[in-house]
Amino acid sequence: MEIGKNSRHITNKEDSELYRKLRSLFNVDGWKNIHFGPPIAKFEIKVSGPKGGSYDHQQQVDLSIERLRNVNLLRSVHPCFNSENFSKTSHILKEGEIYEARIFPVLNKTSSRECLDFLRKRGAIPPGAQGLTLVLEQSLDELPINIWLVSPDEKDMLPNEKILGIWERKVSPRGRLTFDTKTGRLVVTLRCVSFESGLSPYRALLAFFKK
């Protein structure tokens, strides 16, 4: 894995083939009563550190953020997005494992529970924040631009984010690629999304499948 190695040369978000494909799904009347579309991308992911180095599941999120920042691929990261908060996962990724990653577009407003049920029925493995950051490091060329990519997991696996110091909510990790017009490069934004709020269109689900 070589972080920041990315062959795309684009001038705006609509120059991405994946973006056009995803946008066309959202605009088709026939999808109005369907929550999820077919995969808009499939690609292989190997669980490893950079340049074939070792993988540290417990520290993967923090290490990935540092590596993305070091190669100027990180636009911003929310304080809630860190290794400590996302240390619990339904599935622990192990070094050397190879998965097929798939990206499913969200076509209509849906709950987090519906997202999890949709993926479970297809035999998907929740990649967690660790899998999301692996994908962002390894496979920029495979990802849709300007679409929030959400990595859902069971509610009891998710951390609490305190809002205004008053109340807490369970949150899932999400990441997005955008085009930086100043540098001409794709950059990554990392955020968290409330489990209770569900997902709206122009989001997509990240899922891993055993090879």
Q: At 74, list the tokens.
A: 């990180």
34-38, 180-184, 186-190, 195-199: which has the minimum mean pLDDT? 180-184
Please give the pLDDT value at position 135.
Answer: 94
Query: Residue 7 falls within a domain, yes or no?
Result: no
**Domain presence at residue 2:** no
Distance CA 198, CA 174 (A): 12
Asked whether residue 6 is assigned to any structural domain, the reply reads no
In 54-211, the DSSP E strands lie at 74-77, 98-106, 148-150, 160-163, 167-180, 185-194, 203-210
What is the pTM for the complete model shown? 0.83
Q: How many angstroms separate the CA atoms of 12 and 93, rounded?
A: 34
Q: Please check whether residue 194 lies inside any domain of the structure.
A: yes
Cβ proximity of 177 and 146 under 8 Å: yes
71 assigned to some structural domain = yes
| Residues spanned by the domain of 185 | 13-210
The total number of structural domains in the chain stands at: 1
Domain assignment present for residue 143? The answer is: yes
* DSSP string for residues in 155-196: GGGSPEEEETTTEEEEEEEEEEEEEETTTTEEEEEEEEEETT
Of residues 33 and 7, more confidence is placed in 33
Phi and psi at residue 65, to the nearest 5°: -60, -45
pLDDT, tens digit, for every residue of 109-168?
899 999 999 999 999 999 999 999 999 999 988 888 888 999 988 988 888 776 555 556
In whole numbers, what is the pLDDT of the chain averaged over residues?
83
pLDDT reported for residue 7? 43
Dist. CA 134–CA 46, nearest whole Å:
9
Structural domain includes residue 119: yes
Q: Are 161 and 192 in contact (CB under 8 A)?
A: yes
Does 3 reside within a domain?
Answer: no
